[in-house]
Amino acid sequence: MSDALPDLTLPGTPAEVRNEMNRLRAALDAAIPPKRNTTRNLLIATWNIREFASLATKWLAAASDSPKRDWRGLWAITEIISRFDVIAVQEVGGNLKSLRTLMKTLGPAWNFVMTDITVGDAGGGERLAYIFDSHRVQMSGLACELVVPPEWLAETGANVLRQQFARTPYAVGFRSGSSTFVLTTLHVIYGDTSQDRIGEIAGVARWMQDWARRATEWEQNFIALGDFNIDRRDDPLYQAFVSRGLTVAPQHRDLPRTIFDRDGQPNRSSFYDQIAWFAENNRPLLNMTLKSGGNFDFRPHVYQGAGLTTQQLSFRLSDHYPLWIEFEIPA
């Protein structure tokens, strides 16, 4: 398989990398439910993979190398992504070397769909993407970017969207078994202050609510996921996010989102990444049964002995943890 990652079993693979990947696989086995086809489950994830673009074609990038992401880091990313049925990825770059190498390593059963790069300083040249296991999930036919009507932009008042999204939200419909669902992912602009983000967060919540109301009995299973750059649980950004009826996965309530967060201190941790859906009277408006969810802390399992700082690790793997949710669905 040309352009895939080197086979870990081949001579020349550093023993520490081979052992590290075995430990990582064991940790993933313990943390994330396996894919099941009898009592069918669906594993959905979101991950902001820092500057997911080019790739250093060596096992360990040096401090002088650019980019810093190397085969060792991409192997870890590939192992993590392989555990999910569909994953929304933010910060995919214009250079697709890492993505294409990852896809070839995952194999022909895996597919992806993505936006073009977002031009302009605010968009940062990023793409939004979905990577999915086509043995388990197929696209249902819908793929669109969300553009708000001009009337919304003319509104005045607090927490309103005054211009189009810096990175246009990306919605794609999928089918798994007899269930269909629509995922909408977004990487909210960070801005100079938190107030710069609140319009986009409120805007996507409003769009999702209007869209869900047009669906028959909420049967489309609308799910918002991505990096919403929410600073803290229950802060004004979070309130804007849930103001239209979106409810976050309860399993994620106290989990750190980034490798720079303070473990075990929810008030000192960011709340950037979310997976959310609509609920009524505390009941999810989904035709799928929520089973479990979590993040995955890859730090104890990668680059052991490499002497990397947390900042250096973030450029090789990511500064965000993957966030995931498991549903039980009809076969």
289-312 tens-digit pLDDT: 999 999 999 999 999 999 999 999
Average pLDDT over residues 29-39: 95
Q: Find out whether 220 and 180 touch, Cβ atoms under 8 Å.
A: yes
Mean of the per-residue pLDDT values for the chain? 90
For 33, which DSSP code? Answer: P
pTM, rounded to two decimals: 0.94
Region for 100 from its dihedrals, namely left if φ exceeds 0, alpha if ψ lies in -120 to 50, beta otherwise: alpha
pLDDT higher for 242 or 110?
A: 110
Please tell me the number of Cα atoms within 13 Å of 68 on its side-chain side. 15
pLDDT higher for 147 or 28?
A: 28
- The pLDDT score that the predictor gives to residue 216 is 55
Tokens 């999910």 correspond to what residue?
Answer: 84
Say whether pLDDT at 1 is over 60.
Answer: no
Of 102-116, 156-170, 207-221, 252-266, give the lowest mean pLDDT range.
207-221
Average pLDDT over residues 223-244: 90
Banded pLDDT at 64 (limits 50, 70, 90): very high
Q: Is 176 strand, coil or helix?
A: strand
Say whether pLDDT at 183 is over 90.
Answer: yes
Say whether pLDDT at 85 is over 70.
Answer: yes
Query: Which tokens belong to 268?
Result: 């000192």
**Any idea what the Cα angle at residue 270 is, between residues 266 and 274, rounded to 5°?**
105
Average pLDDT over residues 223-252: 90
- CATH-assigned architecture of domain 15-328: 4-Layer Sandwich (3.60)
Say whether pLDDT at 177 is over 50.
Answer: yes
Say whether pLDDT at 2 is over 50.
Answer: yes
